[in-house]
Every structure is written in structure tokens, then in C-alpha cells.
Amino acid sequence: MTQQNQQKLAENLSQILNRIEASTRLQQRASKPRLLAVSKKHPVEKIKIVQALGQKEFGESYVQEAVEKMNQLTDWDIVWHFIGPIQSNKTKTIAENFAWVQSVDRMKILVRLNKQRPESMPELNVLLQYKVGGESSKSGANQTEIKEMIEAAESMSQLKIRGLMSIPPPSDEFDQQCAYFSEVQAFYQLLKNTYPQLDTLSMGMSGDLEAAIKSGSTMVRIGTDIFGPRT
């Protein structure tokens, strides 16, 4: 990693932190959303630089790639989040290696993660992925399915349901972005009436974090605007 690349990463991170700060103030929100740095498709060297700048939570989307990186970063203080699509043959590796899973979209996966989370580890933090924007959105569960999963998880001792994650269909229009995020927020608030322990609403990426913060996001997931374009 050249000096120039290091400097670029530092600049990018501080710009993102400034955007989060500015939006939080503009929306007069009491607290800032957490930042998840999405490092998929970027090398371990970049993760080290960003971690050394104070960022501790990182998100990965591909199980194999993530585990290889973790093995090179065992001594580093990092909280790992899995945010990619989950195939059932990968749940064991996820359950044994991550602190958080944000992309749980069906009961079968939830049940497997609970069975496979080792007793010796703390509970696995889970976000259920909510499908917003109808047919144009590829993955996620609908409201009925999400309610069924939260209900079932009440008796799953190895999991802790923390809230929702959502990826709306891409849009460049601020108002359209807000419309999607408000729908997610409304559903999250509805769930909180029954499950007041929920504390995490993960929404907002590089292109729409301001709209997400306006709609109550408590965690934004930023890849490109920190690490640059993925190859």
C-alpha cells in the first residue's frame, strides 16, 4: 500500500464520517448511526489501514473470502458482520466466525444458525432482511415472514434478534430513496411495539446514506465511498 493510497483511505473515511455527522445534525437526530465498513473485494491491507484509523466494524458478503481475511487478522480488534446472500451449506461457517449476520431472509437459515452457533460463543446478533420495493427487489422476507421469524427466535438460545436490514431498489432520486426507507422504518417501529428490545435498523449505502439517516437508520453500510470501486 503506497503512502498515497493510505492518504486516500483516510480522506475517504473522514468524508463519510462528516456526511454522517452532517445528516444527523440536519435531521436533528439525537444519535448518529454506526458505520459498517464494507470491505468485500478489497484486500486485507486496506482493512488494516481503515481499522488503524479507528473503524472497528467490517462487513463481508462472501463466506470464503471473509474467512480467509479473518485468518490474516486474528490479532486485530474487528467485529465482523456477514451481509451477503446466505446459502444453507454456508450457515455453519457463518455461525462459527461472525459476530453479526444481517442478511437472514428465511426460517430455514435462522434455524440452522441457531443450531450451529457454538455454545462457547456469545449469542449471534441477527438482523432480518426485509424486502422493500416489491418485485424489483431481489432478496428479503415479507412482513409476515419476518414476524414468524422473530416469534420463532424467541426460543432460539444462540441467537439475538437485533432488528432489520434492507436494500431498496437502486434510485438516484432522494424522494424515492426516502419513500423506500420510510416504509422500512414504519415496519421496524411496528415490530418494536411488540419487541421493544430491537435496537438496530441497518439501511443506507454509499449512494443513499443521507436518505436512510433521514428515515431513522441506526447503521449505514458503506463500501465504495471508503474503499473505492470494487474490481
Contacts with ligand PLP by CB under 6 A lie at 38, 40, 61, 83, 167, 205-207, 221-225
Q: How far is the CB of 62 from ligand PLP (least distance, A)?
A: 10
Report the relative pairing of strands 34-38 and 219-222 from DSSP bridges. parallel
| CA–CA distance, 128 with 145 (Å, rounded to integer) | 10
Nearer of residues 11 and 151 to ligand PLP, judged by Cβ: 11
| CA–CA distance, 165 with 119 (Å, rounded to integer) | 26
Dihedral sign, Cα of residue 19, residue 22, residue 27, residue 33: positive
| CA–CA distance, 188 with 61 (Å, rounded to integer) | 24
- Measured from each CB, the residue nearest to ligand PLP is 223
Nearer of residues 158 and 208 to ligand PLP, judged by Cβ: 208
Q: What is the dihedral of CA 22, 25, 26, 32, to 10 degrees?
A: 80
Q: How far is the CB of 28 from ligand PLP (least distance, A)?
A: 25
Nearer of residues 51 and 158 to ligand PLP, judged by Cβ: 51
Q: How far is the CB of 209 from ligand PLP (least distance, A)?
A: 8
| CA–CA distance, 135 with 128 (Å, rounded to integer) | 18
Q: How far is the CB of 68 from ligand PLP (least distance, A)?
A: 18
Structure-block grid coordinates of residue 36: 459498517
Q: How far is the CB of 208 from ligand PLP (least distance, A)?
A: 9
Q: How far is the CB of 61 from ligand PLP (least distance, A)?
A: 5
